[in-house]
Amino acid sequence: MRETGLSIDYVPALEDVPTGVAMIEVSPNGEPKFSIPRPAAFDRIALSTNVIDQTSHLEIARLYFGTLAQMDPEVEQLTAN
C-alpha cells in the first residue's frame, strides 16, 4: 500500500493472526482448487470508536475491504450499513 502512495495510518497490524493468503493447487486437467487458511487478519476487522473519532473530519474518497471478510457473520453485519 505504501508503495502505491496509499496511507496506512488506519490499517492495523495484528500480531496474533497471519495475513490472509490463498493457496492454489492445479489438478492434472488444469482445474484450480483454492484453499484459504483460517483464521486470518481479515477475519478480525474492527472499527473502534477511537478510529471513528480520529477520522470523522476527513473526506474519505474510498473505503476498501476484501470480500473474503464478508464470510464472517460479524464482519458482514459491520459492513452492511
- Give a yes or no: residue 81 inside a domain: no
User: How far separated are the first and last CA of the chain, in Å rounded?
Assistant: 26
Q: How many residues does the chain have?
A: 81
Tally of domains within the chain: 1
Domain region containing 41: 2-75
Query: What burial class does residue 42 get, using C-beta atoms within 10 Å of its C-beta: 0-12 exposed, 13-18 middle, 19+ buried?
Result: buried
Of 12-16, 31-35, 58-62, 74-78, least confident by mean pLDDT is 74-78
| pLDDT tens digit sequence for 53-81 | 998 898 888 777 667 777 777 777 777 76
Give the residue among 81, 7, 10 at the shortest CA–CA distance from 50.
Answer: 10
- Give a yes or no: residue 80 inside a domain: no
Percent of the chain with pLDDT over 70: 94
The pLDDT value given to residue 23: 93
The model carries a pTM of: 0.57
